[in-house]
């Protein structure tokens, strides 16, 4: 009867209650070695509050998001994602996403002072003026624009980095 009333005294690696009861395994402690019981209770309470807050945020996200986004969140949850990771992912605006270009936007360097260049240099066979970086419309019908052979190479010149937006979640698992 006396042994069952003994509480853990916090001694490590084995407390007095475990020594008296003859347990061979190490004790499982409620506190860290450097904290008091009150500090441990406060730490656990704060962790429970944060977890509760994350669950409330997740429910609010599911309520306020579109069906497609809600299904994406639920699929991640079913796949084993932690709730706090999902909340952080949604709050950060899905930053780890693939870039997609907004339609009808192109990144071009300004022509600078090209309108004031001599007519001798302002010809269709000038490689600078006819490059994809600097597109200029000529008055002459014989003007041509250089076209790169592949769409991948051409995409380098059409990348509007200042107007890119995030649309896919393929990079979420990377850490």
In a domain, 81, yes or no: no
- What's the CA gap between 139 and 136, in Å, rounded? 10
Residue 59 is assigned to a structural domain of this protein: no
- CA–CA separation, 59 vs 7, rounded Å? 40
pLDDT, tens digit (0-9, with 9 covering 90-100), for 6-48: 666 667 777 777 777 776 666 776 777 788 888 889 999 999 9
In a domain, residue 150? The reply is yes
pLDDT at 171: 60
Residue 142 lies in a domain: yes
Instruction: Please give the model's pTM, rounded to 2 decimal places.
Output: 0.42
Residue 114, pLDDT > 60, answer no
130 pLDDT exceeds 80?
Answer: no
- Number of domains within the chain: 1
Half-sphere exposure of 108 (CA within 13 A, CB side): 14
Higher pLDDT, 116 or 149: 116
pLDDT of 37? 80
Average pLDDT, the chain: 69
Residue 102 reports pLDDT greater than 60: no
133: in domain:
yes
The continuous run of DSSP H or E covering 168 comes out as: strand 165-168
Q: Say if CB 15 and CB 27 are below 8 A apart.
A: yes
Higher pLDDT, 32 or 129: 32
Contact by Cβ (8 Å): 146, 130: yes
Tens-digit pLDDT profile for residues 71-86: 988 999 999 999 998 8
Please, which contacts does 78-83 make with residues 24 or more away whose CB atoms are closer than 8 Å? 83/51, 83/54, 83/55, 83/58
Q: Is residue 26 part of a domain?
A: no
Residue 112 falls inside a structural domain: yes
pLDDT (tens digit per residue) in 150-170? 555 566 555 555 555 565 566
Q: Is residue 129 part of a domain?
A: yes
Domain span at residue 112 reads 108-158
User: Would you state the pLDDT for residue 172?
Assistant: 61
CB 37 within 8 A of CB 30: yes
What pLDDT does residue 52 have? 96
């Amino acid at each position: 009867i006396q042994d069952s009333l003994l509480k853990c005294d916090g001694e490590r690696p084995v407390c007095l209650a475990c020594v008296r009861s003859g347990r061979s395994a190490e004790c499982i402690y409620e506190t860290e070695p450097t904290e008091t019981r009150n500090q441990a209770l406060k730490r656990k309470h704060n962790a429970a509050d944060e977890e509760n807050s994350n669950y409330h945020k997740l429910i609010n996200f599911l309520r306020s998001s579109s069906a497609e986004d809600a299904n994406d969140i639920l699929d991640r949850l079913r796949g084993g994602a932690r709730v706090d990771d999902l909340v952080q992912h949604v709050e950060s605006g899905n930053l780890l996403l693939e870039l997609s270009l907004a339609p009808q936007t192109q990144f071009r360097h300004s022509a600078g002072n090209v309108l004031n260049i001599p007519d001798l240099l302002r010809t269709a066979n000038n490689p600078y003026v006819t490059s994809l970086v600097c597109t200029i419309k000529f008055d002459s019908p014989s003007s041509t624009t250089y076209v790169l052979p592949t769409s991948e190479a051409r995409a380098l010149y059409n990348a509007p980095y200042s107007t890119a937006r995030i649309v896919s979640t393929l990079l979420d698992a990377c850490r």
